[in-house]
Amino acid sequence: MKSIKTLLFLVLAAYILIITDLILFKYTSLETFVQRFHLDFQDNLFHWQSHNFIPLNTISYYLFQSELSFSIRFRNLFGNFAGFIPFGFLFPLIFIKFQSLKNIMFATFCLSLLFELVQLVFGLGTFDVDDLILNTLGGVFGYFLLFLYLLFKKSIKKSTLRKGGG
């Protein structure tokens, strides 16, 4: 059982590295970022105008007003949702404390917030409160998939026991 947990932990670590690369380094490499690293609060003041702090603003724009192609809108909306499904599935398998909806929602929100704040502070993208919403919903969906998987596994086990004992 311990080897399964270790394997799950390694899968989660690989997932975190991949999602970090996809979110934080989609426009620049880590090497380029380190070479140009500086915090110049006076000159750019974090480029506040390019960020979205209004809930559902980006989501409604992509759904109802955007002139962008469907594939771009779908990739942005669905990508933010789907990107956090693995977290919602894997995290509670490894950390027992996070085997409740409330706790996995909180953990997913915190991970997403960390990514958004890093983007905001270090200019590695744009902060978007709608990403927090979509990422958190994705994590919750992953948790529900885990819940369904465990229910299915339990029902198979019961069915097998009944057939073997009958």
pLDDT in tens, the chain (166 residues): 789 999 999 999 999 999 999 999 887 776 766 665 555 554 455 455 689 999 999 999 999 987 899 999 999 999 999 999 999 999 999 999 999 999 999 999 999 999 999 999 888 889 999 999 999 999 999 999 999 999 999 999 888 888 765 4
Q: Hunting for tokens 């955007």 — which residue is that? A: 66
Dihedrals φ, ψ of 128, to 5°?
Answer: -140, 115
CA trace torsion 80, 82, 87, 88 (10° rounding): 110
Answer whether 78's CB lies under 8 Å from 153's CB. Answer: no
β-pair partners for 128: 52
Contact 126, 119 (CB under 8 A): yes
Q: Which amino acid is located at 50 in the chain? A: S
CA torsion 131-107-119-57 (nearest 10°) is: 20
CA dist., res. 23 & res. 70, Å (int): 21
In three-state secondary structure terms, 38 is coil
10's tokens: 């390694």
